[in-house]
Structure 1
Amino acid sequence: MTKKQAPQPPRPGLTPRTVVDAALRLLDDKGLEAVTVRGVADLLGVRMNTVLWHIKSKTRLLELMADAIVGTITCEDLPADPRHRARELMHRYRRALLTHRDGAALVTGTYAAEPHTLRFADTLLRALTDREPAAARAARTLYALVYFTLGLTQEQQAMSETDEDRFREAVTTGPYPALRAALDALAADPFDARFTDGIDRILD
């Protein structure tokens, strides 16, 4: 039986931030499935244990990556009106997700109680409580906004060029009368329009 190798001490110049940056490069180049501790180590030219010294586990790596994506969102220069402020924050959130390949899938798959994520959530919740002082109602609105945005953006990033044609064919040839009647409306709006409409409906 071989003895389990202990994590190697940190390489000079290597930090958790540089590990996360390398992981985000790997994400953009090859997609979420390719993001592994070994893949990041190979990209950095170090051993896996050197990477683990900084980030402890793949789960922790994904959490830090998700928080880094949310950390690109600026919470300055927001509208004074609470509704417009919340709307603008969600547009910024979606743009941050779209900046990285599989960005929405990455963030959806984590529970990142990290500084950037918490700062964004706090800013959004303050906008919502300025509209609706009841904390429970504002919290549920926050969940609705975030979950809607993650789901829509994940679908957008996963959609291939042929998916819409497959959808149309399945609806028109199958026993789906309600879908068939609304097919043009369902397929007409691009994702940007669907997003704006959904956010407005939730906030209204």
Structure 2
Amino acid sequence: MTNRQAGGRLDPGTVTRAALDLLDEKGLDALSTRAVADRLGVRMNTVLWHVKTKARMLELMADAVLGEIPLDGLPAAPDERARELLRRYRRALLAHRDGAALVVGTYAAEPHTLRFADALVGALLEGGRDEREAAWTSWTAVYFTLGLAQEEQAAGHRAPGAALADAVSKTAHPALHRVLGHLAPEAFDERFEHGLTAVLARR
């Protein structure tokens, strides 16, 4: 049933929810304002009236993804709170098809995004980092989480590790060959926790 058939009121939130549903069904490559309009049963210009451009629609979608991150029930200890926030961030990205690729392509200075960023930076500051270290550590941790989540979601479309194993030669790449067994791309949970420990380690 389309939004028009249901008699619902079209607004930016309705457009964003429809776009996220389309993302989950068909992926980021299939997403367009026209496809969202078709899903809602309205003209494309009607969708553009509410979100202006596709780029703006993607920003609203990215912010909606971060709006799914619960900020309650966090650990009291600042370092463990930062770690838990990033775990929740990763789960929110993975909850949507191509969720990481969606967020990577935007810079959404929107309410949910800012609330999450403030909570993360606040935990880092409370843990004793100065302003620059808190800001840069938050960037590093977020970009690491985004990159690994994007790799994890892309791995579902190919045989994990096959290309790397075929390409690495014991004679041409001795160091890579030595650690090849530890580069399995499917060990995402363990790699994520290891990376968080490295990123959040205090100097």
The aligned length equals 194
Offset, 1:25: 0.7
TM-score normalized by the length of structure 1: 0.91
Question: In 1, distance between residues paired with 2:177 and 2:153?
Answer: 25
Letter in 1 for 2:183: L
Aligned mate of 2:168, from 171, 175, 181: 171
Displacement, 1:174?
7.2
Paired residue type of 1:183? L
Unaligned runs of 5+ in 1: 1-10
Give distance in 2, aligned partners of 1:185 and 1:52.
47
What one-letter code is carried by the residue in structure 1 that aligns with 2:70? T
Q: Which residue of 2 aligns with 1:44?
A: 40
Q: Residue 16 and residue 166 in structure 1: after superposition, are their counterparts in 2 closer, same or farther (change >3 A)? A: same
AA at the equivalent of 2:195? G
Please tell me the residue identity of whatever aligns with 2:119: T
Instruction: Encode CA deviations 1:131-179: one digit per residue, 9 max, x unaligned.
Output: 1241001101000100000000001101134241121111147721111
Residues of 1 paired with 2:24 and 2:64: CA distance? 14
CA–CA distance in 2 between the matches of 1:36 and 1:110? Answer: 15
1:97 aligns with 2:93: yes
Name the TM-score, length of structure 2 as normaliser: 0.92
Choose the corresponding residue for 1:69, options 43, 65, 68: 65
SS at 2:140's partner residue?
A: helix
Counting only pairs closer than 5 Å after superposition, residues 69-88 of structure 1 correspond to structure 2 as: 69-88=65-84
Amino acid at match of 1:64: L
Q: Equivalent residue of 1:62, what SS?
A: helix
What is the CA-CA distance between 1:192 and the residue it aligns to?
0.6
* Stretches of structure 2 lacking an aligned partner (at least 5 in a row): 1-6
Identity over aligned pairs, percent: 57
Rate the CA distance shift 1:16–1:185 in 2: closer, same or farther, 3 A. same
SS at 2:74's partner residue?
coil
In structure 2, do the counterparts of structure 1 residues 174 and 48 end up closer, same or farther at CA, with 3 Å as the change threshold? farther
Cα pair distance change 1:63/1:189, threshold 3 Å: closer
Q: How far apart are the structure 2 equivalents of 1:161 and 1:65?
A: 26
